[in-house]
Amino acid sequence: MRQRNLVWRLARPLLVSALIGQVVAPLVRIATSYRATDLDLSPQQVLLLSSAFSVLPMFLAVRMGRYNDLHGNGHAAIIGSALVLCACLMLVWPGGNLLWLVAVSIVLGLGQTFQLTGLQGEIGMLRLPSQRSSMVGSLMFWQAVGQVAAPLLLSLVAIGLGRDALGLLSLRLALVASALAAFGLGLGLLIWRNAAPPRVIGMDAARMRRIIAVPGFLWVIVAGSLCVAVHDLVLVFMPVLGVARGIAATEVGVLLAMFAIGQMISRACYRRVVLWWGPRRLMYGAVLATALASSALALPLGTVATGAALGLTGLSMGFAITSSVSLTMDLAPRGARATSLGLRLALNRAGQFLIPLASGGAAAALGPGAVFALLGAILCGVGLSGSRQMLRKC
């Protein structure tokens, strides 16, 4: 009964917070990209903003998870919500330059990582695997709903604005994001008040070497992190790709909505599909499908074909990322779920930091679409490298 009360007490604010977070973060990142384009920054500098989003979390996420294992997850939820609101308010400031946009990206990335470690850590506190799997599926579904809402808000805000009004579009998006982030801060307070107490009091959390040594764990977080990098580059680089291919901002919003709808469908179906295929087999197939679908974005496709490719990318990526979170919790040693999730987030952020930097050369030499070809090839290689190990475990 106590466990059931814990689930119900946390579920609503946790899931609504996840929804709000996945509306706010894409809005801010899209607004940052349009502000950068309005300032005549190059595609390589836009990719630098994507890397800045991940630089601090790359080093701090594991420590956040370790702290959460020892002291509880409530503090991370409230700190993350406050930092996300700060990033939104920073972007409201008109004008700016590259350094200011880098600062916005850093604060947003740090805030979102705090928030995610808190939310996922709370789910990890549930004792029963069935409850964790159900909550992970719900969490990822509502995050996908937020990712649908963000580009639709972009399309609504962009109505009546010409292609040259990118600065005004960025400001409007920042104002909408600020209002939502303020509401998210209130939800963070609720999560902090109702957070479950830590369960490793009086004993040491598992050492990092023991966590990494779990069979299949490293492949799960590496492959999942590359799928997150695909998601990141789609959000950040689609506005740039749209400008290069003459796609209006309202159409970019619809395309990103199709990308998010694909994720929403896969996460809504996750519980049934995972019972049919098994989490490891599902993740392996989804990783390879994500590699192929994202590589198609490198082709000079029309708007409709681009939308189809984005929808397929979102569908397969939704299965892959949800499986990654669920498997990370299942494979984590006792008393180290938050640390394991922190390690996963750290690797996510490392990929989001390094891959855009590596992709900058491809974008400069071959055009914006080459970014997706490069990442698709890397993801395909990682997927094939883990196939034997993962299929033996199915």
Categorize the per-residue pLDDT at 350 as very low, low, confident or very high, splitting at 50, 70 and 90. confident
Domains in the chain, number: 1
Calculate helix-pair angle for 98-124, 129-158, nearest 10 degrees: 150
DSSP letter string, 116-176: HHHHHHHHHT-SSHHHHHHHHHHHHHHHHHHHHHHHHHHHHHHTT--TT-HHHHHHHHHHH
Residue 264 or residue 390, greater confidence: 264
Q: For the chain, give the mean pLDDT.
A: 80
| Residue pLDDT, tens place only, 132-170 | 777 777 888 888 788 778 878 888 888 767 666 777 888
pLDDT at 127 over 70: no
What pLDDT sits at residue 108?
A: 93
Residue 59 or residue 70, greater confidence: 59
| Residue pLDDT, tens place only, 196-253 | 666 554 445 556 777 777 888 888 888 888 888 888 788 777 877 787 777 777 788 7
End-to-end distance of the chain based on CA atoms, in angstroms?
A: 33
pLDDT at 173 over 80: yes
What pLDDT sits at residue 315?
A: 93
State the residue for tokens 């579920």.
11
**Mean pLDDT, residues 282-287:** 89
Residue 41 or residue 380, greater confidence: 380
Categorize the per-residue pLDDT at 130 as very low, low, confident or very high, splitting at 50, 70 and 90. low
**Mean pLDDT, residues 308-320:** 92
Number of H helices, E strands in the chain: 16, 0
Categorize the per-residue pLDDT at 393 as very low, low, confident or very high, splitting at 50, 70 and 90. low
Among 72-76, 277-281, 312-316, the minimum mean pLDDT is found in 72-76
What pLDDT sits at residue 312?
A: 93
What pLDDT sits at residue 57?
A: 82
Q: Half-sphere exposure of residue 10, counting CA atoms within 13 Å on the CB side? A: 30
What pLDDT sits at residue 364?
A: 63
Residue 211 or residue 103, greater confidence: 103
Q: For residue 248, what is the domain's CATH number?
A: 1.20.1250.20
* Domain, as residue range, for 145: 2-393
Asked if residue 141 lies in contact with residue 19, where contact means CB atoms within 8 angstroms, the answer is no
Categorize the per-residue pLDDT at 1 as very low, low, confident or very high, splitting at 50, 70 and 90. very low
pLDDT over 70 for what percent of the chain? Answer: 85
Q: Tell me how far apart the alpha carbons of residues 101 and 354 are, in angstroms, rounded to a whole number.
A: 18
Residue 187 or residue 165, greater confidence: 187
pLDDT at 40 over 90: no
What pLDDT sits at residue 88?
A: 92
What pLDDT sits at residue 394?
A: 46
Categorize the per-residue pLDDT at 49 as very low, low, confident or very high, splitting at 50, 70 and 90. confident
